[in-house]
Structures are given as C-alpha cells and as structure tokens.
Amino acid sequence: MAYKRSYWIGFDLGGTKMLAAIFNDRFEIVARKRRRIKLGQAATPGVAQMIDIIGEVMERAQIEPEEIAGAGVAVPGPVDPRRGIVIEMPNLDWRELALGELLGAELKCPVHILNDVDAGTYGEYRFGAGRGGRCVLGVFPGTGIGGGCVYEGNLLQGSSRTCMEIGHIRVMPNGPLCGCGGRGCLEAVASRLAISQAVAAAAYRGEAPTILREVGTNIREIRSKVLAQAATAGDKAVVEILEDAARWLGIGVAAAINLVDPDVIVLGGGLVEALPELFLRGVRESAESHAMRSFQGTFRIAVAELGDDASAKGAAAWAHHREVVAK
C-alpha cells in the first residue's frame, strides 16, 4: 500500500524532558509523548531513546513510517543546521554529534536540526504571538537567555552554526562573570539563574520572607513559580530584583532592535509565563527608552502564546518550510 507523506514530527530536547509530537499538514497535533531525559548519557543510548519515543508516538497516532514527510528537532545549544550537527548540548554532554544523519537513517525522511529558541521563535512566528510579522525577534529568558529571529519567513542563522546569542550581548562592562567566560553579559544579570542568585542573597538577609519560608536559600529551588509567588505576596526585594532584570532585558532587546528593526518582539520561557505583566511592562519601557529614537514606537512586544509546544511545533513547521515551501 502506498502512503501519502503528510505528517511531520516535531521533537524538543530542551530542559529535563523530551517531547515528541506528530502534526498533520495543518499542524494540528495528532499525538504526543513526553519522557524524562537521562541527563549526561552518551550519544548512542540518547539517540536510541529518541527513536524509541518517536516509535511510541507514531504507534499512538496509528501512523506508518511511509507517512512521515520530515522531522524537526529542537536542541538546547549551538548547532550546525546545514549539516545537521549538534555542536554542543550541555544537558546531555553531546558534542559534534551528527544527529540529523543518525535520525534520518532510522526515520527514512529528511531531519532538520535547529536550536530550541530558534524553533520556539519560528513557532511563534507561524502560529503564535508573532503571526504576521515581517521581522520577529524571540527572547526567552531561562537558566540562560536565548534569542531567535525570523526575517521575511526565514530563520537568521550563521554560515556554520546558529546565532542570535542575545544573552551574550555585553550590557555591563566589568560586570558579573558569565558562563561563556565573559563579564557583564545580559545572561549574567537578567537570566533566571542570575535572578535566583540575587534572590537567595536577599532571603539570607531576611529581605525575602516568602522565598525563605518556601525554599530557603537553595538557588536550585528558586524557580519561576516560587518567584511569582513571592512577588504576588509582596516581597519587595524580590519585586525589585525582577524589575531590574526586566530593565536589563529591555536594554538587550534595544540593542537587537537597533540591529535588525523587528516589528514584533516575543518574550517567552517559564519566567515570562509566570510573571507576564511585570516582564512585558519592564521590557517594553526599557526597550523604548534605550532604542535609537528613529526606532521608538515602531515595534510591539508580546508574550509567547504556544507555551510548552512552541519548540516542537516550530521545529516541525521549519522542517515543512525547508522541504516544501523553500523549494
């Protein structure tokens, strides 16, 4: 029996869980499955785990391999999208892994590898808060700060790797040490990790009672949900730290506005989802005041709409774009 290839796989390897989803040609989810990632595992069992979960979700959807037209895989880290290579993925300790080739050989279809924030930004451009934008900038603060940009329907990517590393724009000369080795990067002052460090110090000083009561000074436990809880409870020090982070984010966004003139900036990630009004207001005011005068009033800032599905849906849609639209 001949099958029409009309389904697309979207795979998100971000965080501590992997998500496999199958979409029809209207990009409606047909089936999905989440599974916890075994952190630090070698490439061979890791890829086998990916293939296994894809098989499960195909079985759940009652779809045969011959019906899969292509797959997109969103990876938290730098990739070479043209060769389908994961350059580095810290949560699994993968380096220089030809993931596109390995998965393509198993799935018997084209596989496109892209950074997870690129995927999320493309998803928001196609289906979410960035719909209709000519140039859509995505900024996703989390443990780090990821950026992505869609320009006239295409992701901005470097010649040999993903780019738009907005988290490593230098915003504070001689500022805090960043994970990249530099000092004063946006990520070092406005990521959730930077916020959690400042909040833990405030809790230690007795200035963040909700945090101290709920999780103490354990930075690992000071996550988006508890930060939102403390802000709602009126912990003044926590609110000030969050507002400072939003202002720094706005400065980084303004730098990107001056470079690529986006008409839409989409803010996403768990921190923004937990405190949308605070970040929307703070980033908007800061970006407007720090962007060049000629760009002020030319863009809108919105909160991401797709939630946890953004990267998987965006990856599947990007695979469709590369295989159907771009050709």
Q: 263-296: per-residue pLDDT in tens?
A: 999 999 999 999 999 999 999 999 999 999 999 9
In terms of residue numbers, what domain contains 36?
7-117+308-325
pLDDT tens digits, one per residue of 7-50: 999 999 987 789 999 999 999 999 999 988 776 667 778 888 89
Task: Give the per-residue pLDDT at 1.
Answer: 53
The model's pTM: 0.95
Are 209 and 272 contained in the same domain?
yes
Q: What is the mean pLDDT of the segment spanning 89-94?
A: 78
Any domain includes 254: yes
Task: Give the per-residue pLDDT at 74.
Answer: 97
Distant-in-sequence, close-in-space partners of 158: CB < 8 Å, separation ≥ 6 = none
Task: Give the per-residue pLDDT at 3.
Answer: 65
Dihedrals phi, psi of 217, to nearest 5 degrees: -110, 20
Task: Give the per-residue pLDDT at 176.
Answer: 95
Are 200 and 300 contained in the same domain?
yes
Are 96 and 240 contained in the same domain?
no
- Name beta bridge partners: 26: none
Are 250 and 316 contained in the same domain?
no
Rounded to the nearest integer, the mean pLDDT of the chain is: 94
Are 25 and 58 contained in the same domain?
yes
Are 145 and 272 contained in the same domain?
yes
Are 277 and 312 contained in the same domain?
no
Any domain includes 196: yes
**Rounded Cα gap, residues 134 and 252, in angstroms:** 20
pLDDT tens digits, one per residue of 299-317: 999 999 999 889 999 999 9
Task: Give the per-residue pLDDT at 4.
Answer: 77
Any domain includes 227: yes
pLDDT tens digits, one per residue of 127-169: 999 999 999 999 999 989 999 999 999 999 999 989 999 999 9
Which CATH number fits the domain that encloses residue 256?
3.30.420.40
Any domain includes 124: no
Are 11 and 153 contained in the same domain?
no
Q: What is the mean pLDDT of the segment spanning 176-197?
A: 95
Please name which of 218, 220, 162, 166 lies closest in space to residue 190, comparing C-alpha atoms.
166
Are 294 and 312 contained in the same domain?
no
Any domain includes 1: no
pLDDT tens digits, one per residue of 233-261: 999 999 999 999 999 999 999 999 999 99
Any domain includes 123: no
Any domain includes 291: yes
**Rounded Cα gap, residues 312 and 231, in angstroms:** 31
Task: Give the per-residue pLDDT at 241.
Answer: 98
Are 101 and 162 contained in the same domain?
no
Reported as a pLDDT band with limits 50, 70 and 90, residue 92 is confident
Alpha-helical regions (H) of the chain? 43-61, 99-107, 116-127, 186-190, 192-204, 209-214, 224-233, 236-260, 270-274, 276-290, 310-320
Number of domains in the chain: 2
**Rounded Cα gap, residues 126 and 130, in angstroms:** 7
Any domain includes 149: yes
Are 74 and 183 contained in the same domain?
no
Task: Give the per-residue pLDDT at 327.
Answer: 65
Q: What is the 3-state secondary structure (H, E, C) of 170-196?
A: ECCCCCCECCCCCECEHHHHHCHHHHH
Are 181 and 258 contained in the same domain?
yes
Task: Give the per-residue pLDDT at 136.
Answer: 98
